[in-house]
Amino acid sequence: MRTDGPASYFAEGAYLKGPVRRWRGVPAAASAAQHVAIALKNAVDASGMTVTSVCATSGVGRSTFYAVLRGDVYPDFVTVAELSDALGVSLWPGSPLVVAAAGSGP
């Protein structure tokens, strides 16, 4: 069982900056969680939705939402699927990352 979140494998402040790739010594699950977190942040920024509306639409709690973004937890399949559905984009590892247009986002 993993006791540290995926962000613990990355330098301070580097988790949401990317790039997403397998670094030496970083487990595949941590790289996958990093992809989900970056995809989630980009999708929310591009959507114009608030975190409150994403959470209400997806049924994912705000604390879980922020824990995924911070890399405190490894998101489960249900969480990724519900957030993907609410945002209308794929957050799954291996899918292209959504890039917000300049000046967009909440």
Given its phi and psi angles, is residue 80 left (phi above 0), alpha (psi -120 to 50 degrees) or beta? alpha
Q: How would you write the pLDDT of the chain (106 residues) with one tens digit per residue?
A: 456 899 988 888 888 887 666 667 788 888 899 999 999 999 999 999 999 999 999 999 999 999 999 999 999 999 999 999 999 999 998 777 766 554 444 4
Calculate the alpha carbon distances from 102 to 25, 44, 98 in Å.
Answer: 34, 14, 13
Q: In terms of C-beta density within 10 A (0-12 exposed, 13-18 middle, 19 or more buried), how is residue 93 classed?
A: middle
Q: What is the pLDDT of residue 22?
A: 63
Q: Residue 6: which of 35, 40, 34, 36 has the closest Cα? A: 34
CATH code for the structural domain at 6-87: 1.10.260
